[in-house]
Amino acid sequence: MMDQAEKLRQIIDNLKLRQSANSTNVLNDARNKSAKVITVTSGKGGVGKTNIAINMAIALSEMGKRVTIMDADLGLANIDVLLGIIPKYTLVDVIYNNKNIIEVLSDGPKNIKFVAGGSGIEELTKLDSYQLQKFVSNIALLDKMSDVILIDTGAGLSDSVMSFVMAADEVILVATPEPTSITDAYAMIKMVSNRDTNKTVRLIVNRAESINEANDIINKLTVVTEKFLKLKLLPLGYILQDDMVLKAVKMQQPFSVIYPKTIASKHIKEISKKLLEFKETGKATENQGIKGFVGRLINIING
Ligand X SMILES: Nc1ncnc2c1ncn2[C@@H]1O[C@H](COP(=O)(O)OP(=O)(O)O)[C@@H](O)[C@H]1O
Half-sphere exposure of 217 (CA within 13 A, CB side): 28
253 binds, among ligand X, Mg ion, none (CB under 5 to 8 A by kind): none
State which residue, 49 or 144, has the beta carbon closest to Mg ion: 49
State which residue, 146 or 206, has the beta carbon closest to ligand X: 206
CB atoms near residue 98 (< 10 Å): 10
Choose the stretch contacting ligand X; rule: CB under 6 A; options: 14-22, 113-121, 235-243, 277-285.
235-243
State which residue, 49 or 113, has the beta carbon closest to Mg ion: 49
Residue pair 116/69 in contact (Cβ under 8 Å)? The answer is no
Choose the stretch contacting Mg ion; rule: CB under 5 A; options: 32-40, 41-49, 249-257, 268-276.
41-49
Residue pair 199/41 in contact (Cβ under 8 Å)? The answer is no
Choose the stretch contacting ligand X; rule: CB under 6 A; options: 139-147, 156-164, 177-185, 241-249.
241-249
Kindly tell me which residue out of 36, 39, 43, 51 binds ligand X, with binding defined by CB under 6 A: 51
Kindly tell me which residue out of 242, 265, 271, 289 binds ligand X, with binding defined by CB under 6 A: 242
- Report the nearest approach of Mg ion to the CB of residue 49 (Å): 5
CB atoms near residue 180 (< 10 Å): 11
d(CA 34, CA 171): 17
239 binds, among ligand X, Mg ion, none (CB under 5 to 8 A by kind): ligand X
Give Cα 236 distance to the centre of its chain: 15
Q: Does 48 interact with ligand X (rule: CB under 6 A)? A: yes
Kindly tell me which residue out of 28, 45, 282, 288 binds ligand X, with binding defined by CB under 6 A: 45
264 binds, among ligand X, Mg ion, none (CB under 5 to 8 A by kind): ligand X
Q: What is the DSSP letter of 34?
A: P
CB atoms near residue 111 (< 10 Å): 15
What H or E segment, with its residue span, contains residue 73? none
CA distances, 117 to each of 104, 156, 177 (Å): 10, 18, 30
Residue pair 112/152 in contact (Cβ under 8 Å)? The answer is no
State which residue, 53 or 124, has the beta carbon closest to ligand X: 53
Cα torsion for 239, 245, 249, 253, to the nearest 10°?
Answer: -90
Give Cα 288 distance to the centre of its chain: 14
Kindly tell me which residue out of 157, 187, 224, 249 binds ligand X, with binding defined by CB under 6 A: 249
- Report the nearest approach of Mg ion to the CB of residue 67 (Å): 17
Q: Does 50 interact with Mg ion (rule: CB under 5 A)? A: yes
Q: Which residues of this chain interact with Mg ion, rule CB under 5 A?
A: 49-50
Q: Which residues of this chain interact with ligand X, rule CB under 6 A?
A: 42, 45-51, 206-207, 239, 241-242, 245-246, 249, 264
